[in-house]
Structure 1
Amino acid sequence: MRNGPDIARIASLVGDPARANMLTALMDGGALTASELALEAGVTVQTASSHLSKLMDGGLLALTAQGRHRYYGLANPQIAAMLETIMGVAASMGPQRVRPGPREATMREARICYDHLAGDQAVAMLDGFLERSILIRDGEIIGMGAAGPSFFRAVGIEPDALATFRRPVCRACLDWSVRRAHLAGSLGAAIFDKIISEKWARREPGSRAVIFSPPGKRAFEKAFLG
């Protein structure tokens, strides 16, 4: 057996259709009960419990107890990034499972990917940061450019505070719908928090879609797209 990470074990966990549906249902950064995840997966609660046990043992999920209820969520942002990348590969290689309707276009424009913005708007934002040297990129590594600290302080985000989190400040996350990178990491999360706190956009209930109001979209573009 070759040395290195056991990717076959992780692939087998994600590769089951019911477990894949459970994991993608948690990509909005929320937490669901076993019953709710059973509905997402289209299986019985008993079957869902077996799947959840495997995902927990594999380190893909975290469990939170609140009173009599037990809530399951993704273990960390890295799991969401992995799922987003797999979705990008699946979208490019087909066959695709597409739900028709206007929500799909909304999801392509802007959606949440665990705790940061994804979709067309997010990719355009990262492109703009790189073009203006607010951020710099070396291969898959993204870092703060010379113009970055002053830029983010001007919009109310303190870069030095982000560096204290136990995760990268900047990280490229492959966007499944655009198939190019958007911004993840603690900076990506801080920008999404800013969008929501300023009420530029709202979360669509029961969906990963993020809906910008017309004035909110203008404010977002002025602040982050230049």
Structure 2
Amino acid sequence: MTGSPDLAAVAALIGDRTRAKILPTLLDGGPTAASSLAERAKVSAPLARAHLRKLTAGGLLAVQPHGRQRLYRLSSQAVADAIEALLLVAPTAPARSFRDVAENAALRRGRMCHDHIGGRTGVALTRGLLDGRFLECRGAVPHVTPRGVRAFGRLEIDVVELSRRRRPLTRACVDRSEQGHHLGGSLGATIASELFRRGWLRTREAGRVVSVSEHGREVLTETFQLHACGKG
């Protein structure tokens, strides 16, 4: 017999302050080594690994080998969505140093939200795609227009192939630091992956902060008539 979901078990995993620092780090970045997560959480490497084992056993994290390292990532989009939703209702903690202030400002400018682009950069990109009629909203869901299919094709992004996958092609992801949405779904993830592959999107701060290169901004402006993407 199947019982009801055990929300308390998940709450207990997230409720520890160290683990509550690790999870948003993985939301904003890609697969990350335990040492980097320990530094971010300001704990020792052995303690970080103990917390990572609990999060992995609880199904919130997955591990992938990378040479001699083991890299950790969120186990699914559902986990990323749940953490993002909790961050939207969580109170803001005061910054404890000028470094925290600077990092928070950089994260607001541009960051990875699981596997797609968030922050001011992601919101500006999505707004530009809508304004340029490469996307159009039907209800709360953005849809790719024929104009968008052609434009994405020039970046070697096959929208038709992406639409055949199980993951939704597009979704409006509420941006926790900006008054707006950024583009999620398989298209949002593929855009980010392609921009990284071309070197137009760059990472800083152990993969959490992202910025658009000058050349990337020029190409995106030419292709999608974007003017604010990556600035500010």
Which residue number corresponds to residue 191 of structure 1?
Answer: 191
Q: 3-state DSSP class of the match of 1:151?
A: helix
| CA-CA distance at 1:19 after TM superposition | 0.5
| CA-CA distance at 1:220 after TM superposition | 2.4
Which residue number corresponds to residue 32 of structure 1?
Answer: 33
Judged with a 3 Å threshold, the aligned counterparts in structure 2 of structure 1 residues 36 and 109 are, in CA distance, closer, same or farther, namely closer
Give the Cα–Cα distance (whole angstroms) in 2 for the partners of residues 96 and 125 of structure 1. 29
Return 142-151 or 162-171, whichever deviates more: 142-151
Which residue number corresponds to residue 83 of structure 1?
Answer: 83
| CA-CA distance at 1:178 after TM superposition | 0.4
Give the Cα–Cα distance (whole angstroms) in 1 for the partners of residues 67 and 212 of structure 2. 35
Instruction: Report the TM-score when normalising by structure 2.
Output: 0.78
Q: 3-state DSSP class of the match of 2:48?
A: helix
In the TM superposition, what whole-angstrom CA distance separates every residue of 1:79-103 from its partner, at most 9, and x where no partner exists? 233333333333xx43444753544
Alignment of 1:175-186 (within 5 A): 175-186=175-186
In the TM superposition, what whole-angstrom CA distance separates every residue of 1:131-155 from its partner, at most 9, and x where no partner exists? 3443233444333334332232233
Query: Aligned residues: percent identity?
Result: 34
| CA-CA distance at 1:111 after TM superposition | 1.7
In the TM superposition, what whole-angstrom CA distance separates every residue of 1:118-174 from its partner, at most 9, and x where no partner exists? 111211221232334432334443333343322322333110221243422112222
| CA-CA distance at 1:188 after TM superposition | 0.8
Q: 3-state DSSP class of the match of 1:147?
A: helix
Structure 2 unaligned residues grouped into runs of 5+: 227-232
Structure 1 unaligned residues grouped into runs of 5+: none
Return 170-179 or 68-77, whichever deviates more: 68-77
Q: 3-state DSSP class of the match of 2:32?
A: coil
Judged with a 3 Å threshold, the aligned counterparts in structure 2 of structure 1 residues 144 and 60 are, in CA distance, closer, same or farther, namely same
Instruction: Report the TM-score when normalising by structure 1.
Output: 0.80
In the TM superposition, what whole-angstrom CA distance separates every residue of 1:24-65 from its partner, at most 9, and x where no partner exists? 2223111323x4433333334454344223312321101224
Which residue number corresponds to residue 155 of structure 2?
Answer: 155
Judged with a 3 Å threshold, the aligned counterparts in structure 2 of structure 1 residues 70 and 104 are, in CA distance, closer, same or farther, namely closer
Q: 3-state DSSP class of the match of 1:142?
A: strand
Return 135-144 or 12-21, whichever deviates more: 135-144
Alignment of 1:1-226 (within 5 A): 5-27=5-27, 28-33=29-34, 35-65=35-65, 69-90=69-90, 93-97=91-95, 100=98, 101-226=101-226
Cα RMSD after superposing both structures: 2.8
Number of matched pairs: 221
Given residue 127 of structure 2, which amino acid in structure 1 is its aligned partner? D
Q: 3-state DSSP class of the match of 1:40?
A: helix
